[in-house]
Chain A
Amino acid sequence: MVIKIEERRGRIIIHLLNKSRFEWTIEPRYWRNPLIVVILWILLPLIMAYYVPLGIVGIGSTTLLSSLILANVIALSAIAHSLQTIGTGRVNFGPQFFLVVGGYVAALLNKNYGLGSELTFLASFAITALVGLALSPLTVISRGLYFTLITLVLPLILGELIFWRGDIFGAETGIPGITRLAHTGDPMNDLLICFYLSLAMVLILTVIVDKILRSRWGFMLGVINEDEDVASSFGIDTKKIKVVTFTFTSGIMGLSGWFIAHYYGAFAGTMWLEPWVLIFILLSSVLGGKAAIYGAPLGAYFIVLSRDILRSYIGGGYSLLLLYIVLLIALYLLPEGLWGLYRKTRYREYVPVIRIRRKL
C-alpha cells in the first residue's frame, strides 16, 4: 500500500509509503489557512487558464494570466512597501522610483553588456539597494509629511533625468529588446512560466518578511513604527534598523522593476513613473491591509483584477475612471483594509498602524 488514508480522533491522516505522514484536522477552526491559500494561489490560475471558460468574467485566459503577473509584480513592491512602512515609521510616496531604478539597471546591463537575467537580478537588487542606502538618511532626517513630500519628488527627478539623457534611457520609447524571461515559443507557456516565477518571488518574499516580523527584529520594527523615542529609550538602535529596512525594501522594489523589464522585453521608465503606479502600490499596501504584509498581495490582486475586468467590460478611459471610483468607495467601506475583513483581533500578534503625521 503506497498511500493509506485513515480518520482518527477528528483528524485525517495520510500515510505515504508507511514513512512520512500528513495530518489534517477536520474541524474548520483548526485548518491551516495559510497552507490552503498558498495551494489555491498556486493551482487556481493553472486551472482557470486551461479549464474554465472565462467568458463569464469577460477576460480570456491570456489576459487573466498577464493581469495576475502584473498583480504579482505590484504585490512584490507592495509587500516591501508595507515592511518599509512598519520598519521606518514613515510612508513612502515614491515606491515607483525604486521600481524604475531596478528596471533600468536590468535593461541597461542586459542591453549594453549582455548580462543574463540571473545576473541582472542580482545587479538590480544590489544597485537599487545601494540607491536606497544613499537615500536612507532621509528616514533619519525627515519625519511625517516632509518624508512623504520628498519621496513624492523622487520620481519627478528620475523623470527629468530620463528625458535629459534620452540617449541612454530611451526617453518615452524606453529600451526595447531585453532578453525575455521565457521564450518557449508558445505564448501561453511563456505566460505560465512568468506567472509562476513572479508568484515564487512573492511567496518567498512573504515568507521572509513573515519570518522577520515574527522574530525579535519584528518586535523592534513594530516599536519603531509606533514610537521612535520609546524605541531608542529602550535600547533599540533606531537609526540602524531604519537604514537597513529602507535599503532592503528598496532593493525588493528594484526587483519588481527587474521582472517588468525582462517580462515585457522592453522598459519605458516614464510609463512606470506615472501616478497610477504609485496608487497601485500604495493602495495595495494601505487598502490591502494597513501595512499588514499579507494584505498587500490581496490588495494588489483586488486592484489589478478590478482594473482588467472593468476594462474588458467597458473598455477605454471609462474603465479607469470606474476603477478609481471603485477604489475610492473601497476606502470608505474598508476602514481596516481588505485584510481586516479576515483578521480577527489576535492580541498576541502586533498589528501595525500607519501614521503620517506623528502628532497634531
Chain B
Amino acid sequence: MLHVSDLTKRFGGIIAVNGVSLEIRKGEIVGLIGPNGSGKTTLINLIAGFYKADSGRIIFEGVDITKKTADERVKLGIARTFQIPRVIGNMTAWQNVTYAVIGSRRFKEKKMTLTEASMEALYYLDIVGLLRKRDVLCRDLPIYELRLVELARALALNPKFIMVDEVMAGLNPVEADNVARLVQRLREEFKLTTMWVEHVLRIIMRSVERVVVMNEGKIIADGEPREVAKDVGVIKAYMGEEVVI
C-alpha cells in the first residue's frame, strides 16, 4: 500500500531522516517507535506532505506522491493526527470535523452540500463519543477530548491509511487505554491501514502486528513486537539509553 524508498530529509546540518525504506501492506497495523529526535515525526511529516523530501520516493497505492502537496495526498486517502493536537481553537469541535469532511475527496465527488457535510461530521463525532461536546470551542476542551477530535477529524477524511502520532502523550492511564482501544476499534470498523507512532513500545505492544524501530533517522529494527522486544539488549546497545522496553 505504502512504499517508501531511500527517503532522506536534512535540516541544515542535521539529517533527520536518513535513507529510510519502508513497506506497509494493506490492512496492516504498524507501530513506529524510537527515542526523541529519532525522526519519527519527520517521517510522518514527509509522508503527509508537510515537508518536501531531499531525496527518495514515496509511492502510495501505485501512485508516486513524492512531489504532491499535502492536500493532494489527503485526497488520495492519507490522514494523520498531530503529536500536539492542532485543532482550530476558535472553532467548535463540530466545525473542526466539518472542514475535514469538506476537504475530503468524497465531498467533491458526491457533490455534498454544507449541511450534508456537517451531518456527516456529527456521525464521526458520535463515533469517538464527543457528540455532546460538539458545540464547545476547541480551545476550551481538555487534551483527552482534543485527541478524540483529532481522531474524528482524521476519520472524516475517509482515509485508507492513517498515521497516529503519539496519540497517548499527556493522557492518564485510563484515558490512554480508552484511546488505544478506540484506535483499534476504528481500524477494524473502517478497515484502515494504520501507522502508529509512539515513544515507547510497551504501550502499543498488544495493539500492533509489526514494529519498526527508528534511531537517528534510520530504521534499526523491523519485526513482530515480541521479537523486537527480545532484541532489547541489542537496541539498548544501539541507542545507549533505555527507551524501548
Q: Could you list which residues of chain A lie within 8 angstroms of chain B, going by C-beta atoms?
A: 215-216, 219-220, 222-223, 226-227, 229-239, 347-348, 350-353
Q: A220-B99, A229-B50 are in contact. Are A234 and B86 (CB under 8 A)?
A: no
On whether the beta carbons of B114 and A215 are closer than 8 Å, the reply is yes
A/B pair count, beta carbons within 8 Å: 84
Of A227, A230, A238, A350, which one neighbours B95 at CB under 8 angstroms?
Answer: A350
The residue among A215, A236, A238, A353 with the most chain B CB atoms within 10 A of its own CB is A236
**Given the complex, which residues of B lie within 8 Å of A348, measured CB to CB?**
92, 94-95, 135
Q: List 30 A-B contacts (CB under 8 A).
A: A215-B114, A216-B102, A216-B107, A216-B114, A219-B95, A219-B114, A220-B99, A222-B95, A223-B99, A226-B88, A230-B86, A230-B88, A231-B99, A232-B69, A232-B70, A233-B49, A233-B70, A233-B71, A233-B80, A234-B71, A234-B74, A234-B99, A235-B105, A237-B71, A238-B71, A239-B69, A347-B92, A347-B136, A348-B92, A348-B95
On whether the beta carbons of A236 and B71 are closer than 8 Å, the reply is yes
On whether the beta carbons of B90 and A350 are closer than 8 Å, the reply is yes
On whether the beta carbons of A223 and B88 are closer than 8 Å, the reply is yes
Q: Could you list which residues of chain B lie within 8 angstroms of chain A, going by C-beta atoms?
A: 48-50, 69-71, 74-75, 80, 86-92, 94-95, 98-100, 102-105, 107, 114, 117, 135-137, 153, 157
On whether the beta carbons of B99 and A236 are closer than 8 Å, the reply is yes
On whether the beta carbons of B90 and A234 are closer than 8 Å, the reply is no
Chain A: minimal CB distance from B109 (Å): 12
Of A232, A234, A353, which one neighbours B153 at CB under 8 angstroms?
Answer: A234
On whether the beta carbons of B100 and A350 are closer than 8 Å, the reply is no
Closest partner residue, chain A, to B137 (CB atom): A347
Q: A348-B95, A352-B90 are in contact. List 4 more A-B contacts (CB 8 A).
A: A222-B91, A227-B86, A233-B49, A350-B91
Closest partner residue, chain A, to B104 (CB atom): A235
On whether the beta carbons of A236 and B103 are closer than 8 Å, the reply is yes
**Given the complex, which residues of B lie within 8 Å of A234, measured CB to CB?**
71, 74, 99-100, 103, 153, 157
- A-B pairs with the 5 shortest C-beta distances? A235-B103, A235-B74, A232-B70, A234-B103, A226-B88
On whether the beta carbons of A226 and B117 are closer than 8 Å, the reply is no
Closest partner residue, chain B, to A238 (CB atom): B71
Closest partner residue, chain B, to A223 (CB atom): B99
Closest partner residue, chain B, to A215 (CB atom): B114
Chain A: minimal CB distance from B151 (Å): 13
Closest partner residue, chain B, to A214 (CB atom): B114
**Given the complex, which residues of B lie within 8 Å of A351, measured CB to CB?**
90
The residue among B89, B95, B103, B117 with the most chain A CB atoms within 10 A of its own CB is B103
Chain B: minimal CB distance from A215 (Å): 6
| CA–CA, A347 and B50, complex, Å | 31
| CA–CA, A239 and B136, complex, Å | 30
On whether the beta carbons of B90 and A235 are closer than 8 Å, the reply is no
On whether the beta carbons of B88 and A222 are closer than 8 Å, the reply is yes
